[in-house]
Amino acid sequence: MTARLDGKVALITGAGSGMGRAAAELFASEGARVVVTDVVDDGGNATVAAIRAAGGDATYVRADVSKWRDCEAMVQCATDTYGALHVLYNNAGIFPGDDGGVLDTPETTWDSVMEINLKGVWLGCRAGIPAMIASGGGSIVNVASFVALMGAATAQIAYTASKGGVLSMTREMAVEYARQGIRANALCPGPIQTPLLEELLSDPVRRARRLVHIPMGRLGRAEELAQAALFLASDDSSFMTGASLVVDGGITAAYVTPE
């Protein structure tokens, strides 16, 4: 059976831990040559080491997605190292602890969330799309969130607004580049058990408040999101573009959640 990303070059931002690392390892196991980017060098290098230890091919480049020059450089690394770019997985994002309600969130927090979560996706696509066109097309996977589709039960105004922007931007670029062989889809996760979320939900009361809204009664796993990302990255989703793939344990389907 042919690996689903055999011969493809994939660039994954924020791949030093959590969902990004899980996706990088899975994509490599499915035949992709993977460019791992992060701002934490130890994490990025550890992801590459794990991929190589499993027999895969990966390289690491440090990139702050809020900076245009870094986005240019990460795409250049992909084309210089592997000669092409077929999959762009814009996964990098932040969720500061002081991101709260409209009246409570500091302006500096709003700005930093927008710089990374929204502008970072735009810059990644701005750098990556020309390389993908030159490579014959490919798939863009942008990480939005279930809160792009509905309001969050716990106030997080900057994060929610940034992910709504990612969702709308993904639709527009899907339309713009569909006839140039590029698909663009948004992945909309529910709460996923990553180091970032574990830190935010270290308070048992805050954790319980989140879990009560998930019909399945648990957080998602990074590996489950990686499988969804693989579907969007591969030709398994060849007639999908401008779509939102929701992987949220049933949150957006529920009106009243189970006790």
Decide if 159 is catalytic.
yes
Terminal alpha carbon distance of the chain? 44
User: For residues 19 and 50, is the Cβ–Cβ distance under 8 A?
Assistant: no
Q: Which of 82, 159, 177, 255 is catalytic?
A: 159
Q: Which residues make Cβ contacts (< 8 Å) with residue 190, sequence separation at least 6?
A: 146, 214, 219, 220, 246, 247, 248, 249, 251
Q: By three-state DSSP, how is residue 96 classified?
A: coil
Structure tokens of 63?
Answer: 């990139």
Q: By three-state DSSP, how is residue 184 classified?
A: strand
Closest CA to 141 of 37, 20, 45: 20
What is the sign, positive or negative, of the torsion defined by CA atoms of 111, 112, 113, 115? positive
Catalytic residues: 159
